[in-house]
Amino acid sequence: MIAIFRALRATCVALLALTITLAQQPEPKHETIVVTGVYEPLAIDQVDRSVRVLPVKEQQLLSNTWVDFLRLDPSLDLQQRAPDGVQSDLSIRGGTFGQTLLLIDGQRVNDAQSGHHNMDIPLPMEAVSQIEVLRGSGSTLYGSDAIGGVVNIITKPPEATEFHLRTGFGNFGTNQQRGSLALVDGNLTEQLTFSRDFSTGFADDRDYRNLAFTSSTHLVSPLGASDATLSYMDHPFGANGFYGPFNSWENTKTWFASFRQALGKKTEASFSFRRHSDLFVLFRDHPEIYTNHHAVETYQAALRRNESLSDNVKLHYGVEGYHDAILSNNLGDHARGRAAGYASLDVHVLRRFSFSIGAREEVYRSISGEFSPSVSGGVWLSQHFKLRASASHAFRVPSYTDLYYHDPANIGNPNLLPERAWSYEGGLDWNAGKKVRGELVVFHRRETNGIDYVRSSLTDISRATNIQNLNFTGVEASVSFKPAAWQQLDLRYTGMHGARDSLPGIISQYAFNFPSNSAVAAWQVSLPWGIAARTRVGALQRLEQSTYALWDVYLAETRGRVHPFLQFTNLTNTTYQEIQGVPMPKRGVLGGVEIAVFTRNK
Q: What is the mean pLDDT of residues 567-578?
A: 93
Contact 161, 184 (CB under 8 A): yes
Predicted confidence (pLDDT) at residue 454 exceeds the cutoff of 90: no
Q: For the purposes of burial, counting CB atoms within 10 Å of the CB of 1, is it exposed (0-12), middle (13-18) or buried (19 or more)?
A: middle
Spatial separation of the C-alpha atoms in residues 230 and 216, rounded to whole Å? 7
Q: How confident is the model at residue 509 (pLDDT cuts 50, 70, 90)?
A: confident
Q: CA-CA distances (angstroms) from residue 483 to 10, 15, 487, 519, 555?
A: 19, 12, 7, 21, 21
Predicted confidence (pLDDT) at residue 507 exceeds the cutoff of 90: no
pLDDT at 597: 82
Residue 455, classed as helix, strand or coil, is strand
pLDDT at 367: 61
Share of the chain above pLDDT 70, in %: 93
pLDDT at 599: 67
Spatial separation of the C-alpha atoms in residues 24 and 435, rounded to whole Å? 11
What rounded mean pLDDT belongs to the chain? 90
Predicted confidence (pLDDT) at residue 226 exceeds the cutoff of 70: yes
* Amino acid sitting at position 115: G
pLDDT at 24: 38
Strands (E), 186-329: 188-199, 208-221, 224-240, 247-263, 267-281, 291-308, 313-328
Lowest pLDDT segment from 203-217, 309-323, 486-500, 504-518: 504-518
At 32, give phi and psi (nearest 5°). -85, 125
Lowest pLDDT segment from 396-400, 452-456, 480-484, 530-534: 452-456
How many distinct structural domains can be found in the chain? 1
Q: What is the mean pLDDT of residues 472-487?
A: 93
pLDDT at 406: 87
pLDDT at 500: 76
Q: How confident is the model at residue 434 (pLDDT cuts 50, 70, 90)?
A: confident
Q: What is the mean pLDDT of residues 226-238?
A: 96
Spatial separation of the C-alpha atoms in residues 569 and 80, rounded to whole Å? 14
71-99: pLDDT as tens digits: 999 999 999 888 887 889 999 999 999 99
Share of the chain above pLDDT 90, in %: 76
Q: How confident is the model at residue 26 (pLDDT cuts 50, 70, 90)?
A: very low
Which H/E stretch holds residue 10?
helix 2-21
| Alpha helix (H) residue ranges in 75-190 | 139-142
- Counts for the chain of helices (H) and strands (E), in that order: 3, 37
Kindly report the CA angle at 109 between 470 and 165, in degrees rounded to 5? 125
* β 450-455/436-448 pair status: unpaired
pLDDT at 505: 64
pLDDT at 372: 96
Lowest pLDDT segment from 233-247, 490-504, 561-575: 490-504
Q: What is the mean pLDDT of residues 119-146?
A: 95
pLDDT at 351: 77
Spatial separation of the C-alpha atoms in residues 178 and 82, rounded to whole Å? 20
Q: Give residue 52's Cα distance to chain centre.
A: 11
Q: What is the mean pLDDT of residues 533-554?
A: 93
Q: Could you list the residue range(s) of the whole structural domain that residue 304 is in?
A: 2-601
Q: How confident is the model at residue 433 (pLDDT cuts 50, 70, 90)?
A: confident
pLDDT at 27: 39
pLDDT at 8: 41
pLDDT at 84: 80
pLDDT at 5: 44
Q: pTM above 0.85? A: yes
The residue ranking higher by pLDDT, 6 or 336, is 336
Spatial separation of the C-alpha atoms in residues 524 and 532, rounded to whole Å? 8
Q: Which of 536, 541, 583 is nearest to 62 (CA)?
A: 536
Q: What is the mean pLDDT of residues 557-580?
A: 92
Q: Which of 552, 473, 493, 478 is nearest to 6 (CA)?
A: 493
Return the CATH number at 206.
2.40.170.20
Contact 196, 177 (CB under 8 A): yes
The residue ranking higher by pLDDT, 208 or 461, is 208
Strands (E), 419-514: 419-431, 436-448, 450-455, 462-467, 470-484, 487-500, 507-508
Predicted confidence (pLDDT) at residue 413 exceeds the cutoff of 90: yes
Cα dihedral across residues 304, 308, 309, 312: positive or negative: positive
Contact 471, 447 (CB under 8 A): yes
Q: CA-CA distances (angstroms) from residue 226 to 157, 221, 264?
A: 11, 8, 11
Q: What is the mean pLDDT of residues 375-380?
A: 96
Contact 169, 592 (CB under 8 A): yes
pLDDT at 526: 92
pLDDT at 25: 37
Predicted confidence (pLDDT) at residue 437 exceeds the cutoff of 80: yes
Read off the DSSP letter of residue 95.
Answer: -
Read off the DSSP letter of residue 15.
Answer: H
pLDDT at 421: 96
Q: What is the mean pLDDT of residues 372-401?
A: 96
| Alpha helix (H) residue ranges in 301-456 | 400-404
Q: What is the largest CA-CA distance in the chain?
A: 70
Contact 481, 77 (CB under 8 A): no
Spatial separation of the C-alpha atoms in residues 398 and 144, rounded to whole Å? 10
The residue ranking higher by pLDDT, 190 or 365, is 190
Predicted confidence (pLDDT) at residue 55 exceeds the cutoff of 80: yes
pLDDT at 513: 81
The number of beta carbons lying within 10 Å of the beta carbon of residue 350 is 11
Spatial separation of the C-alpha atoms in residues 54 and 154, rounded to whole Å? 10
Predicted confidence (pLDDT) at residue 602 exceeds the cutoff of 80: no
Q: Which of 340, 378, 377, 379 is nearest to 360 (CA)?
A: 340
Contacts of 3 (CB under 8 A, 6+ apart): none
